[in-house]
Homo-oligomer: A and B are copies of this chain.
Amino acid sequence: MAGPATYFDPARKDELDPATRALVARRERALGTAYRLFYDEPLQPVRGLGTKVWDADGTEYLDAYNNVPSVGHAHPRVVAAIAEQAATLNTHTRYLQEGILDYAEQVLETLPASIETMMFACTGSEANDLALRIAKHVTGGTGVVVTTNAYHGVTTEIAAISPSLGGMESLAPWVRMVDTANLAGVGAAFDELQAAGVKPAAFIVDTILASDGVIPSINNLVDAVAATRDRGALFIADEVQPGFGRLGHGMWGFDRYGLSPDLVTVGKPMANGHPVAAVMARRELTEAFGRSVRYFNTFGGNTVSIAAAQATLDVLRDEGLIENARVIGERLLGQLNGIDSPLIAEVRGAGLFIGVTLERDGRPATAETLAVVNELRRRRVLLAASGVGNNILKIRPPLPFDAGDSDRLVTELQRALALHA
């Protein structure tokens, strides 16, 4: 299976410097071959702060890619919260804890009033797995509709609804795909499932369509949700990528469409890298699920995870990072639109989630995108590619990205594009 263009090709190990080659060889030996590394020359970061990371040689890089350390690498308030709680107690949800209630209540306040409960897991994959399990339980159906290049996670169940993973893990027979350019086909997809004897359960969508190429304005999303509900299925908003303010407009990607999902899933940026995730849902859904299923996730919502998530939420608010995402994101969009390069076909985004599509003669410029990403790595700016054709630069930095960071990214991108135009 061909991975996205920006992965290191193990066949080219001999081109690496001896120290990197030795690490890559140890890695293949101990971790096996299902793992991938970024870049032609894999990077070994050893330190991070804010929007920067440093490699083992002390070289500094601008991080325009990592959305997990959302409030900035090694944010001191998040670090302090983790250290303090780990030194005090780390335990689970079968004991009473006040922190988890304080946190859940604050997050639920940011959601539509119809979403009243929050359940904790450790990863976005687990959150989507649980959300779908609830949806199937409540509807009694199994049919799921996803977008063409959707990625929702790596559990067996969720890999089976993630066409972007491809290979044998491809779609389960109870899944149908709809074109991201126009979701008007969702109703028909459910009808097709029903004609095949599969009762509808859920339509799940990442509201920035990250793996589909970063699409800030999704056509027909509201109609697609209505068509979903007409057929008795539930709408799951996968906010693992757009959630927690990255789009610079409120906390959630679906807010921009005036939608009220049935279930909302979150993960990656929730605790700035500490493994925690969650499903928020309408009360009647979790009640119906809870009547016949007890749920316990040993680490999910443990006291240290909650301390990390609370500190991350506090920083997001106190440092005005959603507003920063909006202001710097708009500025960066303008700068990117101003770049004069024959490769750039489109620049689009919301907040600090931006896609830049590269084309040559109207066709995806996959090789050039690969070259630009690797050139930027040499120029000490970290980015990656996205989309079905791997021809979309994915810009998704930590949210404290500032005007200077933005200028530096644009300058280096201009040079990299010029070299490969």
A residues adjacent to B (C-beta < 8 A): 1, 3, 7, 20, 23-24, 26-27, 29-38, 42-48, 53, 66, 68-69, 73-74, 76, 78-79, 82-83, 86-98, 100-101, 104-105, 108, 116-126, 129-130, 132-133, 136-137, 154-157, 159, 165, 167-169, 267-268, 272-276, 281, 283, 286-287, 289-300, 302, 304-305
Contact = CB atoms under 8 A, between A and B. Distances in A.
Copies of chain A in the complex: 2
A68 B123 CA distance: 19
B34 A104 contact: no
B119 A34 contact: yes
Contacts of A287: 32-33
A31 B97 CA distance: 12
Contact of A38 (B95, B117, B124): B95
Give the 8 A-B CB pairs with smallest separation, nearest first. Answer: A32-B286, A34-B290, A83-B83, A33-B290, A32-B117, A275-B299, A156-B157, A44-B96
Contact of A296 (B36, B82, B122): B36
Contacts of A76: 87
Given A129-B155, A275-B305, A90 B117 contact: no
A169 B132 CA distance: 13
A263 B408 CA distance: 47
A283 to B, nearest CB: 7
Given A30-B104, A66-B91, 12 more contacts: A26-B105, A30-B116, A31-B93, A32-B286, A42-B96, A48-B90, A68-B92, A82-B86, A122-B275, A133-B156, A274-B304, A275-B302
A73 to B, nearest CB: 7
A108 B305 contact: no
A141 to B, nearest CB: 13
A160 to B, nearest CB: 9
B31 A289 contact: no
Contacts of A48: 88-91
Contacts of A68: 91-92, 298-299
Contacts of A267: 298
5 contacts: A31-B117, A79-B83, A122-B299, A129-B156, A275-B299
B154 A34 contact: no
Nearest to A268: B298
Nearest to A73: B89
Contact of A123 (B44, B47, B297): B297
In this complex, the member of A125, A275, A302 whose beta carbon has the largest number of chain B beta carbons within 10 angstroms is A275
A45 to B, nearest CB: 5
A279 B368 CA distance: 37
B126 A123 contact: yes
B96 A27 contact: yes
Contact of A293 (B23, B42, B165): B165
B1 A293 contact: yes
A74 B101 contact: no
A36 B92 CA distance: 11
Contacts of A121: 123
Nearest to A287: B33
A104 to B, nearest CB: 4
Contact of A31 (B44, B104, B299): B104
A95 B293 contact: no
A295 to B, nearest CB: 4
A312 to B, nearest CB: 12
A400 to B, nearest CB: 16
Nearest to A151: B296
A69 B302 CA distance: 12
Contacts of A90: 48, 69, 73-74, 272-274
